[in-house]
Chains A and B, each alone.
Chain A
Amino acid sequence: MFANLAQKVLIPALLAYVVQNAPNTLAALPLADQQVIRIGNGTEPKGLDPAKVTGVPEHHILQNLFEGLTGQDPVTLEPTPGMASSWKVSRDGKTYTFNIRPDAKWSDGTPLTAEDFVSSWLRALAPKTASEYAYQLYYLENGEEFNTGKIKDPAKVGVKATDKRTLVVTLKSSTPFFLRLTSFYTLYPVPAHIIKKYGEEEWTHEGKMVSNGPFRLTEWKINKHIKMVRNENYWDAGKVKLSEAVFLPIENIDTENKMFHQGELDMTNTVPSLRIPKYAKEKESSPEQHPYQSHPYLGTYFYRLNVNKKPLDDKRVRRALALTIDRKTLIEKVTLGGQTPALGFTPPNTAGYTFDGTLNATMTPAALAEAQKLLADAGFPGGKGFPKLDILYNTSEDHKKIAIAIQQMWKKHLGIEVGLYNQEWKVYLTSQAQMNYAVSRSAWIGDYPDPNTFLDMWVTGGGNNNTGWSNKDYDRLIAEAARAKDQASRHAIFKKAETILMSEMPVIPIYVYTRNRLQSRKVALLDGALNAVPWKSNILDSMPLKNYVMTK
């Protein structure tokens, strides 16, 4: 009787328990015969020279062709050993000693040494390379001076190879996120021997390029595709499961969507916003099966206010405007992308930092009353006498819809008249840079997961400030944060700074971006120990194909 019970109930239950909780090892996965992935990647990359390019599509490709001193955990984004097998940081946090792994090689089999990093970083900094992202290396001692031509002698820059395997990096000041920067593409090594052979322009072309990452380039057809195959000379090649990856630049999002449904793509770059509500609903009934994925992304959509323009020079007016945007309604009815309301400028949980915003997600009566009172105090009770404001946006249906919604909210809640006008992208950028606007649609995507990338742009005269806003206390706090000894005190300083920013309100945060895509359930994610882990995109939207595998 008991035996029977055990056989019928207990054993299957136990088995089910074991199966559910056992780590999903690679061996247990039904692997596809063809380990090929096809990815929609937005636009044609500007280039494949890590020192010269900027942008997200470029990042997706380069991070798989190259590897920096450090890599990134696919889930947590914490630095992992890359070309450097280990490193030591000096007590003052200014000197990093990296040990380059002995089996580090270029894809043509040439050994990769510490000297390669020195020459690559100096190349990125050299004025004639004309690298847009050269400032990612300004943390090095004399990096900025060398790039701007104040120092001509490269030996004075804080990067040295003491022997073939040891790279010593000296920083200007302690930079707590430096090990995250070393996995950023501007800091990747580039093959000096190949650049010398083919020249600065041609070395990235198919048939010529040599790289040091998990994959190597085999084909690059402009506006068609970029193909890469597993690099057998990569130190960790044994763990790379995909044999080939194809990146397709597909600008038309409806085409991309149809290609996915036809099975021509395994992952899309985005999802047409009108389809998101339908996908989100379908996903509720079959969360495991549905290809729709939506993840927070390290970026904020916001409006810049020109504080030199009356009446926006009054912070009460600025705050009244910020308070009367119903962010939740905007997201649910207009943007449709499952974004989250931005209550501060830095997206929540940016490398463990969350600012408890003083803004509101929905319109509460209290917020409305506060906003109306602020506007009355500023001399415009009920919006009377308020000059007409114009919202500038770059030509796009999505930005237009958002601007119309906000126009209506301000009219309804504050009684003010708002006009809209759009400009073509480059004209809009010029207007914004010359501060030729009153309110301007903007967006900021973080360079690295750290609040600094969101907050240091608002210092007095910052190149990306463009609002005319200036605050001495704020400047002092941002400078102080750079010198902070540990992460906790650094975050505390950032919070103080962001509190100032949000009470002064030179910018109105609207929403935190999400990354939406369709992804075949055949694509599985592996952790460092080759166990399948539940799918999780990361806030940087990095795409470490090293950790991907195709299942049946």
Chain B
Amino acid sequence: MILYILKRLLAMIPVLWIIATLTFVLMKAAPGGPFDSERQIPAEILKNIEEQYHLNDPLLVQYGRFLGQLARFDLGPSFRYAGRSVNDIIAETFPVSATLGILALIYALLLGVAAGLFAASKPNSVRDYSAMGISMLGICMPSFVIGPLLVLVFASTLKWLPVAGWDSWKDMILPSLTLGTSYAAYISRLTRAGLMDIIRQDYIRTAKAKGLSGFAIMVRHTMRGGLLPVVSFMGPAVAAVVTGSLVVETIFNIPGLGRFFVQSALNRDYTLVMGTVLFLAVLVLLCNLVTDVIYAFLDPRVRYE
């Protein structure tokens, strides 16, 4: 098992190198540069700036320098935010996004698995259809609708919670609900589908024949296999959710990492684009690895040698 994990970790290096190279090429191919603005900078001044940031070197030299920095885990200075390094920006904003993401996932898991169990416990009944109907609504409603609706009700009208910000625990409630709702909906549907699949298996019939209670069967036997689809969904979902969401962070004015994924590309902030892309890539790869390992524990048929 340990050997398997090591192998997977080593395999990440070429994957990351390909991602970094592709990002580098795409970034340089996009028209415009980090220092273009409506107020054009005189050519001589632009020359000073490009020299300072090594933008006037041949592309291959820039690429080589960038790989060298990367090997030292140095993502370089941000082009947009003078005096901030990309490492600093990620270090300052990732914990915020991660906190929000984890809260949202806990909520999504609790609600989603509960709703899935509820629906699967009596398939094709009123409770099944109503639970799945609501979850479909949750999948369809985008966060830029849910967010402002929640703010309207709980902040602007009832005045129980703040409109936006990131100072106290109260600020965390509405964004977590907004971010988690669609995940909860997905999870409930996956849970239901997974459980329905397992219920028909022979070993469940055996358990029933042994005279186990419905509750014991559900918790001990059905859930273990039935949650496998949820586990494989959670791998990439965790990576996506902890790195933040542009929409939720903008609606609630949260100082997280999510906004930089889009903003840095729009600003042609080359180093920050690269930093956020690689950071997300590493997280996705790690989460996938963790998922595969958890799989081995949950499903006795899966073995890694």
A426 touches B30 (CB 8 A): yes
**A19-54 toward B: CB 8 Å interface, digit per residue (1/0)?**
000000000000000000000000010111100111
Query: Roughly how many angstroms separate A264 CA and B164 CA in the complex, as a whole number?
Result: 9
Q: Which residues of A contact B49 (CB under 8 A)?
A: 130, 132
Query: Roughly how many angstroms separate A297 CA and B288 CA in the complex, as a whole number?
Result: 53
Q: Which residues of B contact A204 (CB under 8 A)?
A: 82-83
B252 touches A255 (CB 8 A): yes
B82 touches A223 (CB 8 A): no
**Given the interface contacts A135-B42, A255-B163, A262-B162, does A222 sit within 8 Å of B81 by beta carbon?**
yes
**Given the interface contacts A131-B45, A222-B92, does A262 sit within 8 Å of B255 by beta carbon?**
no
B255 touches A224 (CB 8 A): yes
A205 at the interface (CB under 8 A from B): yes
Q: Which residues of A contact B127 (CB under 8 A)?
A: none
Q: Which residues of B contact A252 (CB under 8 A)?
A: 250-251, 253
Chain B stretch 1-41: residues in CB contact (< 8 A) with chain A? 30-33, 35-41
A427 touches B251 (CB 8 A): no
**B156-176 toward A: CB 8 Å interface, digit per residue (1/0)?**
100100111110000000000
Contact of A264 among B36, B89, B162, B266 (CB under 8 A): B162
Query: Roughly how many angstroms separate A135 CA and B44 CA in the complex, as a whole number?
Result: 10
Minimal Cβ-Cβ distance residue in B for A465: B40
- How many residues of chain B are within 8 Å of chain A by beta carbon? 51
Q: Which residues of B contact A431 (CB under 8 A)?
A: 31
Query: Roughly how many angstroms separate A202 CA and B88 CA in the complex, as a whole number?
Result: 11
Query: Roughly how many angstroms separate A377 CA and B266 CA in the complex, as a whole number?
Result: 44
Query: Roughly how many angstroms separate A224 CA and B163 CA in the complex, as a whole number?
Result: 14
- How many residues of chain A are within 8 Å of chain B by beta carbon? 55
Q: Which residues of B contact A144 (CB under 8 A)?
A: 44
Q: Which residues of B contact A433 (CB under 8 A)?
A: 36, 40
Query: Roughly how many angstroms separate A91 CA and B163 CA in the complex, as a whole number?
Result: 58
Query: Roughly how many angstroms separate A326 CA and B244 CA in the complex, as a whole number?
Result: 45
**B99-133 toward A: CB 8 Å interface, digit per residue (1/0)?**
00000000000000000000000000000000000
Minimal Cβ-Cβ distance residue in B for A423: B31
Contact of B155 among A44, A148, A201, A262 (CB under 8 A): A262
Minimal Cβ-Cβ distance residue in A for B257: A223
Query: Roughly how many angstroms separate A423 CA and B170 CA in the complex, as a whole number?
Result: 40
Q: Which residues of B contact A129 (CB under 8 A)?
A: 48
**Given the interface contacts A222-B81, A222-B255, does A426 sit within 8 Å of B36 by beta carbon?**
yes
Query: Roughly how many angstroms separate A388 CA and B11 CA in the complex, as a whole number?
Result: 55
Q: Which residues of A contact B40 (CB under 8 A)?
A: 433, 463-464, 466
B164 touches A250 (CB 8 A): yes
A248 at the interface (CB under 8 A from B): yes
Whole-angstrom distance from the CB of A423 to the nearest CB of chain B?
9
Minimal Cβ-Cβ distance residue in A for B266: A425
A484 at the interface (CB under 8 A from B): no
B83 touches A251 (CB 8 A): no
A46 touches B44 (CB 8 A): no
A88 at the interface (CB under 8 A from B): no
A147 touches B48 (CB 8 A): yes
Q: Which residues of B contact A258 (CB under 8 A)?
A: 151, 155-156, 163-164
A46 touches B252 (CB 8 A): no
Query: Roughly how many angstroms separate A262 CA and B45 CA in the complex, as a whole number?
Result: 45
B192 at the interface (CB under 8 A from A): no
A426 touches B93 (CB 8 A): no
B92 touches A430 (CB 8 A): no
Q: Which residues of B contact A443 (CB under 8 A)?
A: 38
Query: Roughly how many angstroms separate A443 CA and B53 CA in the complex, as a whole number?
Result: 28
B52 at the interface (CB under 8 A from A): yes
A128 at the interface (CB under 8 A from B): yes
Q: Which residues of B contact A427 (CB under 8 A)?
A: 30-32
Query: Roughly how many angstroms separate A441 CA and B120 CA in the complex, as a whole number?
Result: 57
Query: Roughly how many angstroms separate A200 CA and B84 CA in the complex, as a whole number?
Result: 11
B266 touches A424 (CB 8 A): yes
B148 at the interface (CB under 8 A from A): yes
Whole-angstrom distance from the CB of A137 to the nearest CB of chain B?
11
B164 touches A259 (CB 8 A): yes
Contact of A429 among B37, B48, B148, B159 (CB under 8 A): B37
Chain A stretch 206-253: residues in CB contact (< 8 A) with chain B? 221-224, 248-252
**Given the interface contacts A47-B82, A127-B48, does A221 sit within 8 Å of B255 by beta carbon?**
yes
Contact of B45 among A46, A53, A147 (CB under 8 A): A147
A99 at the interface (CB under 8 A from B): no
B80 at the interface (CB under 8 A from A): yes
A411 at the interface (CB under 8 A from B): no
A48 touches B83 (CB 8 A): yes
Whole-angstrom distance from the CB of B117 to the nearest CB of chain A?
36
Whole-angstrom distance from the CB of B271 to the nearest CB of chain A?
13
A222 touches B93 (CB 8 A): yes
B51 at the interface (CB under 8 A from A): yes
Whole-angstrom distance from the CB of A395 to the nearest CB of chain B?
10
Q: Which residues of B contact A48 (CB under 8 A)?
A: 83
**Given the interface contacts A130-B48, A258-B155, does A202 sit within 8 Å of B164 by beta carbon?**
no
A54 touches B164 (CB 8 A): no
Contact of B51 among A52, A53, A127, A147 (CB under 8 A): A127
Can you list 27 A-B contacts (CB < 8 A)?
A47-B83, A52-B82, A54-B39, A128-B48, A134-B45, A134-B48, A148-B44, A201-B84, A203-B83, A222-B89, A222-B255, A250-B164, A252-B251, A255-B251, A255-B253, A259-B164, A264-B162, A424-B266, A425-B266, A426-B32, A426-B267, A426-B268, A427-B30, A427-B31, A429-B32, A429-B38, A463-B40
Q: Beyond the given A426-B267, A429-B36, A430-B32, could you list 5 further A-B residue pairs with CB under 8 A, ordered by the A residue number?
A: A130-B45, A223-B255, A249-B253, A251-B250, A429-B38
4 closest A-B pairs by CB: A426-B32, A47-B82, A224-B255, A223-B255
